[in-house]
Amino acid sequence: MEPPQPPSATAASAAPIAARCGLTAPWKLAAGAYVANNDRIAPGDTARGRQAPLTRALDWLGPGDNPAGLVYGTLLIGTLLAAETAKRETFADTVCAVTITLLAYWLAHSYAHALGNRLRDAQALTAAALGHAILAQRAIVKGAGAPLLVLLICWAAGASLTTALSAALWTCAGAIVYFELVAGLRARLRPRELILQTCAGTAMGLALIALRALLH
């Protein structure tokens, strides 16, 4: 009878077996932070405890479960900001107009999504279905959050409306570049491919800047 292997050797030999069986290790990687799904955090493992809030924050900033809505919300707020003018508007007027228009687009997009599903599946309209569609499309508002926050910060800091609109618009452009970068990293693109894909996001962001220049 062979002597029992030590625990370290058993764990080492089990890894190739798990890989051949197609098993996936119960952890995920988020911006360099490892978070165990099934393992309990040891009392002395303070590093893992500190990484959890960071991982949750990065998950919130990431595309989430509705990436298209997030990108749509960013492009939408960028288009609205590009159309605003500082000559005939004030901060209060601009924030109110942009917020109301954003909420209207969110509700309209949610209703269109719910109606499209009912036309496809031959279902009746229910409050639950409509509420689910509204919650599912909340990423549109999330995508507009950073530019609106920049606008409010500039207002509180006493900056001019022209400067605030430019800063918020550049925030939209940067967010689009960031989304393209995240998409490329998730696809594990080669450096050259990643650069080309990021350039596509840069072109879209610069298009928002150019739209403002054309309208004003």
Lowest mean pLDDT of 13-27, 43-57, 107-121, 160-174, name the range.
Answer: 13-27
Average pLDDT over residues 198-215: 92
The label of the residue with tokens 């925030």 reads 171
Quick one: pLDDT at residue 5? Answer: 53
112/108 Cα distance (integer angstroms): 6
Q: At what angle do helices 161-186 and 67-83 cross, to 10 degrees?
A: 160
Average pLDDT over residues 151-177: 95
pLDDT above 60: residue 121:
yes
Instruction: Give residue-wise pLDDT tens across range 32-42.
Output: 333 333 334 34
Average pLDDT, the chain: 78
Quick one: pLDDT at residue 157? Answer: 96
Average pLDDT over residues 160-187: 94
Could you say which DSSP state residue 4 is in?
P
pLDDT above 70: residue 63:
no
Is residue 106 within 8 A of residue 140, CB to CB? The reply is: yes
Under the banding of pLDDT at 50, 70 and 90, the label for residue 85 is confident
Domain boundaries defined on the chain: 67-215
Tokens of 120: 């496809």
Average pLDDT over residues 104-113: 94
Quick one: pLDDT at residue 213? Answer: 86
29/188 Cα distance (integer angstroms): 14
Higher pLDDT, 30 or 118: 118
Is residue 165 within 8 A of residue 123, CB to CB? The reply is: no
